[in-house]
């Protein structure tokens, strides 16, 4: 396996993990009052991660744009989730922070 393929595979695993954590967070927060912002940021994060996966698979010239949008979405999601004490929010924030690191390493 080439190093480029390995980097892409690692990134995709990170994006998928973030999507999974955000999905769990949405499901958990949907039953709690006052969690609309958390849900909104998780949904945006999921969309951004999916865009990154799609662009990584296509070797798109716009990959850098998608990666930066993912950094922004994950940052906002992590910041919101860190306001809450629920396990799902804490785990989501951690996944978002990992995703930010992965995106930034790909952008470097």
pLDDT score recorded for residue 3 = 44
pLDDT digits (tens, 9 = 90+) for 62-80: 888 999 999 999 999 999 9
User: pTM for this one?
Assistant: 0.91
3-state helix, strand, coil in the chain (%, to 5): 85, 0, 15
pLDDT score recorded for residue 55 = 86
* Residues sharing a CB contact under 8 Å with residue 47, sequence separation 6 or more, in sequence order: 73
Residue ranges of domains in the chain, CATH in brackets = 3-107 (1.20.1270.360)
pLDDT digits (tens, 9 = 90+) for 5-28: 555 788 999 999 999 999 999 999
Question: What is the share, in percent, of the chain residues with pLDDT greater than 70?
Answer: 89
Of 9 and 89, the one with more pLDDT: 89
Indicate the SS3 state at residue 34.
coil
């Amino acid at each position: 396996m080439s190093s480029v393929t390995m980097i892409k595979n690692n990134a995709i695993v990170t994006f998928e993990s973030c999507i999974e954590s955000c999905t769990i967070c949405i499901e958990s927060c949907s039953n709690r009052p006052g969690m609309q912002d958390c849900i909104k940021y998780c949904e945006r994060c999921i969309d951004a991660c999916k865009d990154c996966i799609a662009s990584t698979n296509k070797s798109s010239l716009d990959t850098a744009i998608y990666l930066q949008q993912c950094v922004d979405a994950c940052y906002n999601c992590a910041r919101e989730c860190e306001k809450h004490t629920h396990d799902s929010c804490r785990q989501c924030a951690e996944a978002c922070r990992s995703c930010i690191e992965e995106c930034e390493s790909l952008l470097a």
